């Protein structure tokens, strides 16, 4: 009986971690597809737990803002994508795995900067 109680308490102790595991699953992205977004940077949020790049592209003759989720700040900085590398107004090309539900968002693959350099996080 004591062994069962110990296992139960261990599992109850792990319960708070399950939402964090689900958050990092990436299931909302369709990794079988890649979109190429050529546009202008609206914002680069360089903050934990994930960086975000908002880029305005022309789609169907109208401006559309895409939100692209990047890696953790440390990972992006290690790939030379620190907070001062991507600037508002920069013309960039971003490749991303799109959201499965069709909203204008995706998971960052790589970026082509205004100087032509292509950077992909490690």
Domain ranges of the chain: 28-119
Three-point CA angle 66, 110, 45, nearest 5°? 50
Does the pLDDT of residue 119 top 60, yes or no?
yes
Of 27, 24, 32, nearest to 49 (Cα)?
Answer: 24
CB count within 10 Å of CB 96 equals 25
Residue 4 reports pLDDT greater than 80: no
Compute the distance between CA of residue 96 and CA of residue 98 in angstroms, rounded to an integer. 6
Q: Please give the pLDDT value at position 14.
A: 46
Average pLDDT, whole number, for the chain? 87
Enter the pTM of the model: 0.79
DSSP state of 93: E
CATH number for 28-119: choose from 2.40.160.20, 3.30.1300.10, 2.60.40.420, 2.40.50.140: 2.40.50.140
What's residue 122's pLDDT? 74
Please state the rounded mean pLDDT for residues 35-59: 97
């Amino acid at each position: 009986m004591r062994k069962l109680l110990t296992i139960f308490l261990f599992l109850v102790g792990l319960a708070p971690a399950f939402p964090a595991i689900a958050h990092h699953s990436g299931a909302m992205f369709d990794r079988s597809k890649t979109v190429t977004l050529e546009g202008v940077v609206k914002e680069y949020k360089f903050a934990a737990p994930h960086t975000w790049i908002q880029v305005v592209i022309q789609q169907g003759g109208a401006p559309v803002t895409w939100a692209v989720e990047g890696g953790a700040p440390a990972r992006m900085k290690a790939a030379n994508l620190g907070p001062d590398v991507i600037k508002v107004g920069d013309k960039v090309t971003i490749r991303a795995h799109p959201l499965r539900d069709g909203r204008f968002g995706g998971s960052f693959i790589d970026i082509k900067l205004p100087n032509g350099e292509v950077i992909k996080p490690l």
